[in-house]
């Protein structure tokens, strides 16, 4: 009875504390994606957005796949011309004048501004153990980065990351951070004696329920817990791709998996939660506030903060990787966080390496009028507007384009990767549009003393290389593999290219 009373008192105290906290800070706003999208349209004075094209080629509003119609706005913003019209001819002009102009335009109109102050993150190693990935012994660490929410305790953000490094490395190793699910690769299993004790305790616990006990009595040899069999060497059917993680470890590298959803939800309804909601104290965004891509990039930078402290990591050779929406996030991370030394941008499409001005497959309207608007700043909606206080605007009104995003990474290592439509890397992604942007970014690499793709700067005339023909002799690289919506077939090429370019 006494324990029951104590429990009730504890619950009442928690309830009272929660009520006080809610009264003090105010409940976070809860909106559906559609409501949040409309809220942003109202803030911007947009009354009508153009619908995005359909990915179904038989639909009346199907996306354009006719190259003769793909470049209605062929002139890209001048990458080496200041807003006052002066040409950029020196590295000093780039770093002190032109680059800040480009950053400002991207922050205001495309990806959004990070708050001047973001809360600190405290990293904790929850689990550290020796595991095997394939035949490679590794040290695996499961980490959580708690974001300080003392300014608004009603929203909690804990960044999930896993770090895996070769156990037998003689010193710090390069690490590729990858956006994806963060879990230990091969958690250590109990030995047979420990497993027998756990099963005995489990049967005793389950047997307290008479119905369950009757079932257990029917199967006296049944063990509720079974030890997982470790996998050594085999990767599935003959000819199956070797996972990227295995390729990295085989090369003597490590990898970190960071979970984007633990930083910011991948939907508009989540914009009043996650790190964006935390800094906004649960209120909807303003038009130039950051979107999910920039928030994921912020989270990756916080993961880098931890990697700088880990003696197993060569912090001067840390890269970032992602595919599809996370390919966009990887490129945005590289552009805005100068500590990353390299990036593998996989099948990124609009908002990533593909030109916004291209009308081929995915369009600006695909983002502005859909449930994917949350990736970008609210201001980005203007460029899909048909009617509103800004009038009608389109991609040609953007002051920047993706060649400039690539240029913000210079002179560091950028590898742009795609697969082929026949295997599932859809035409929708506009592989050619990414190639054009990569070509156009080359002038900044040259200005800074780095090597570009090794082709001319004429992005309208340069022909995309054949599949499996990589342009891998510079600090800016391109390769289209013959697989699908993945960058795994390019991983070995990326590793070898990066090693060859390390200074």
Tell me the per-residue pLDDT of 249-306, one tens digit each, with 9 for 90 and over: 999 999 999 999 999 999 999 999 999 999 999 999 999 999 999 999 999 999 999 9
Q: What is the pLDDT of residue 234?
A: 42
Q: Which long-range contacts (C-beta less than 8 Å, at least 24 apart) are formed by 238-244? A: 241/483, 241/486, 241/488, 241/489, 242/488, 243/488, 244/178, 244/321, 244/487, 244/488, 244/491
Residue predicted with more confidence, 85 or 198: 85
Burial of 100 (0-12, 13-18, 19+ CB in 10 A): exposed
What are the structural domain ranges in the chain?
Answer: 67-186+244-501, 191-227
C-alpha 408/C-alpha 431 separation (Å) is: 20
Mean pLDDT of 86-109: 98
Q: Please, what is the average pLDDT of the chain?
A: 93
Determine contact, residues 417/494, Cβ cutoff 8 Å.
Answer: yes
Please state the CATH superfamily assignment of the domain spanning residues 67-186+244-501 in this structure: Alpha/Beta hydrolase fold, catalytic domain (3.40.50.1820)
Mean pLDDT of 237-256: 88
- Output the CA torsion sign for 325, 330, 335, 337: positive
- Report the range of poorest mean pLDDT among 11-20, 94-103, 200-209, 493-502: 11-20
Residue ranges in 33-148 assigned as alpha helix (H): 33-44, 91-93, 99-109
158: which strand partners?
146
Residue predicted with more confidence, 207 or 303: 303
C-alpha 190/C-alpha 178 separation (Å) is: 29
pLDDT tens by residue, 12-36: 555 544 555 667 889 999 999 999 9
Residue 232 confidence class, pLDDT cut points 50, 70, 90: very low
What angle, 0 to 180 degrees and rounded to 10, lies between the N-to-C axes of helices 292-307 and 325-336? 60
Q: Supply the pTM of this predicted model.
A: 0.92
User: CA end-to-end span of the chain, whole Å?
Assistant: 70
C-alpha 393/C-alpha 365 separation (Å) is: 11
Q: What is the pLDDT of residue 240?
A: 67
Q: What is the pLDDT of residue 10?
A: 53
Residue ranges in 281-353 assigned as alpha helix (H): 292-307, 325-336
pLDDT tens by residue, 125-175: 999 999 999 889 999 999 999 999 999 999 999 999 999 999 999 999 999
Q: What is the pLDDT of residue 204?
A: 87
Look up residue 142 and give its two tokens: 């499961």
pLDDT tens by residue, 335-349: 999 999 999 999 999
Determine contact, residues 164/139, Cβ cutoff 8 Å.
Answer: yes
Looking at the predicted structure, is the pLDDT value of residue 224 above 50? yes
Q: What is the pLDDT of residue 192?
A: 84
Residue 9 confidence class, pLDDT cut points 50, 70, 90: low
Q: What is the pLDDT of residue 190?
A: 85
Determine contact, residues 155/265, Cβ cutoff 8 Å.
Answer: no
Whole-angstrom CA distances from 220 to 195, 200, 211, 224 are 16, 11, 15, 11
Q: What is the pLDDT of residue 503?
A: 72
Question: What does DSSP say about strands 46-49 and 385-388: parallel, antiparallel, or unpaired?
Answer: antiparallel
């Amino acid at each position: 009875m006494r324990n029951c009373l104590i429990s009730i008192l504890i619950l009442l105290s928690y309830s009272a504390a929660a009520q006080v906290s809610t009264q003090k800070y105010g409940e976070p706003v809860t909106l559906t994606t559609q409501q949040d999208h409309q809220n942003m349209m109202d803030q911007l004075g947009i009354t009508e957005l153009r619908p995005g094209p359909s990915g179904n080629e038989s639909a009346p509003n199907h996306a354009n796949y006719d190259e003769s119609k793909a470049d209605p706005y062929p002139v890209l913003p001048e990458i080496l011309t200041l807003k006052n019209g002066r040409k950029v001819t020196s590295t000093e002009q780039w770093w002190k004048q032109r680059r800040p102009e480009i950053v400002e335009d991207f922050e205001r109109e495309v990806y959004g501004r990070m708050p001047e102050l973001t809360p600190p993150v405290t990293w904790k190693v929850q689990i550290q153990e020796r595991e095997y990935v394939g035949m490679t012994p590794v040290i695996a660490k499961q980490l959580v980065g708690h974001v300080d929410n003392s300014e608004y305790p009603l929203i909690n953000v804990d960044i999930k990351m896993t770090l895996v490094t070769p156990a037998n490395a003689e010193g710090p190793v390069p690490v590729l951070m990858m956006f994806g699910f963060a879990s230990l690769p091969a958690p250590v299993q109990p030995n047979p004696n420990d497993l027998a004790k756990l099963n005995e305790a489990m049967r005793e616990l389950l047997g307290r329920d008479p119905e369950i006990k009757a079932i257990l009595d029917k199967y006296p040899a049944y063990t509720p817990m079974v030890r997982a069999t470790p996998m050594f060497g085999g990767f599935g059917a003959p000819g199956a791709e070797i996972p990227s993680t295995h390729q990295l470890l085989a090369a003597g590298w490590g990898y970190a998996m960071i979970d984007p959803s633990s930083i910011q939800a991948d939907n508009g309804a989540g914009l009043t939660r996650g790190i964006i909601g935390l800094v906004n104290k649960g209120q909807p965004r303003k038009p130039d506030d950051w979107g999910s891509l920039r928030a994921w990039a912020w989270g990756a930078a916080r993961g880098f903060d931890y990697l700088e402290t880990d003696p197993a990591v060569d912090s001067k050779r840390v890269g970032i990787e992602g595919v599809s929406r996370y390919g966009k996030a990887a490129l945005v991370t590289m552009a805005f966080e100068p500590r990353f030394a390299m990036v593998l941008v996989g099948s990124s499409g609009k908002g990533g390496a593909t030109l916004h001005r291209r009308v081929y497959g995915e369009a600006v309207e695909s983002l502005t009028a859909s449930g994917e608007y949350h990736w970008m700043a609210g201001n980005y909606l203007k460029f899909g507007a048909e009617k509103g206080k800004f009038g009608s605007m389109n991609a040609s009104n953007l002051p920047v384009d993706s060649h400039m995003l690539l240029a913000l990474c210079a002179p560091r290592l950028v590898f742009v990767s795609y697969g082929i439509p026949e295997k599932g890397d859809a035409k929708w992604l506009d592989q050619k549009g990414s190639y054009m942007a990569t070509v156009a970014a080359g002038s900044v690499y040259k200005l800074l003393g780095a090597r570009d793709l090794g082709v001319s700067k004429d992005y309208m005339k340069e022909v995309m290389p054949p599949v499996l023909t990589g342009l891998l002799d510079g600090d800016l690289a391109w390769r289209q593999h013959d697989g699908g919506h993945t960058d795994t077939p390019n991983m070995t090429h990326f590793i070898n290219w990066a090693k060859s370019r390390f200074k």
